[in-house]
Structure 1
Amino acid sequence: MLILTWVFVVTAGLALAYAAASAIGAWRWSVAARNLVAELTAGRVAPAASRHHAAELAGLPAPVQRYFRAALTDGQPIVTAVSLTQSGLFNMSAVADQWKPFTATQAFATARPGFVWDANITLFPGVPVRVVDAFVAGEGLLRPTILGLYGLGTLQGTGEIARGELLRHFAESVWFPTALLPSQGVVWQAVDDTSANATMTDGPISVTMLFRFGVDDLITSVSVEGRATTVGTATVLMPWECRMSNYQTRDGMRVPLTGEALYITPQGEKPYFKGTIDTIVYEFAP
């Protein structure tokens, strides 16, 4: 009986300790995420134009003109900020299939460009991996933790981490396509009748991606020859691609609600993200 009592006491103590650590971690994480979003919001500036006008499409590559005519209407207000929720699967292994469910919230600013992705990945029942992935004020950040308390290695700063996060922002601009307009600073260059290169610049960082368009004239994928990723303890550049589907109309814009992100390794394609937008809310220029 004494042994059973001690087993109960120890088990109850461990459960209470875990519950306390989980609660503290969730609180600390939410405060840090809110502070990042506040910094993102504080850095917003007025867009170069408040509405899209079809006249600005003159001179753009033909597939790009067709895309904007399919995705936007003349007079569409320019998106200045976005908040959304996501759910899906995230691959926790770079060499195997270890897909785990996740939910996330994400905030975007379009000028200056930036985002904060706040995700909760269920590693095991009751054991969340909390991840923040962000590009704020020209600086990149990737911070994964267990319970929001125990760090798994943080990447932060300028250079390739910042470039990689701006590439993510650029790819995800398909969710708020007014950010891809030339009036908002994006420069388009012709490739062929179904693709075009586009360049986005933020301060000293300039990134170029290849956009591909489908038979419906909407974007099917974006890719770049080199985006930073971690292989073991080293950071390497590897071909990266995002694929979009399930286009629907939101606030007058055609946007994809389903996406997949992957690296193309010497061993083949390695998808790591499969997600769906559950809710999306826009702020527009007055």
Structure 2
Amino acid sequence: MTRVQANLLLLLAAAIWGGGFVAQSTAMKELSPFWFIGLRFAVATAAVLPFVLLERRKAAVKTSRRHLGLYLAIGLALFGGAATQQVGLQTTSVTNSSFITGLYVVFVPVIAVLFLRRPPHWIIWPGAVMAIAGIYLLSGGHLSALTVGDGLTVICAGFWAIQITLAGTTVKETGRPLALSATQFAITSLLALIVAAIFEPVSLDAIMGAAPEILYVGVFSSGVAFVLQIIGQRYTTPSQAAIFLSSEALFGSSLAALILGETIPPVGYIGCALMFSAMLVVEVVPELSRRRAQAV
């Protein structure tokens, strides 16, 4: 596979994830948040399982008790991110959600410092300032315009950052990203269905009404897109992968405008640009610095 083909796969994965924001929003016209999360990740678990079985045949490391503990922690982080994002979509727009969720790119290095004691690249701090300014401008330049949903989505980005940090460490130990994926999907589905069964009403008609969104997000966003990402990243550079995967936010906002008719204030476009720039610089600049250091 050529690098151009790999980057196109990553672009397709980002487009699928961007469409997932629209599906998550429209699904709640029929189904409550936790029922949607539970059913979505149940489908995702089933979609990934065949790949897990293939991966298992080539596994070089046996799953230990420590690995199971890490899988549980990652599943809890995924549940926290999915829950805050889905509930947040009740009071924020798809555009805001897609861009604010992308803040995980900034949060990941910060969490690595706090918990793994890894000093960050200097670009993290201006990147964080750019991201915060972007959120402010996305709201129209008025703090009162920020909604509870926006705040929940910032928390969601924090959960995604924890999930990504732990997942990266765990996959290096186990060499089994698909097994980790299926396990975290199953944990998230189970927890969400428990919460839904206790607190949220449901009917077969509601589930059938949201079935297209459940299948899209479950099969494509969590199953197909994940596999595309794994394949694509094997044949391209980390900096190029970051650029293509970060376009998820742009696809999310574009599809929200085309399908849902969402709009943002003029100054909000500057906020989007700042947030997208923050996502890119914290990934690309450290990689370029590393290359220059190796070349010297």
Question: Greater relative contact order: 1 or 2 (C-alpha under 8 angstroms, separation 6 or more)?
Answer: 2
Higher fraction of helix = 2
- Asked if these proteins are the same fold (TM beyond 0.5), I'd say no
Of the two, which has the highest radius of gyration? 1
Superposition TM-score tier, normalisation by shorter sequence: under 0.3
Higher fraction of strand = 1
- Please give the TM-score of this superposition, normalised by the length of structure 1: 0.28
- Please give the TM-score of this superposition, normalised by the length of structure 2: 0.27
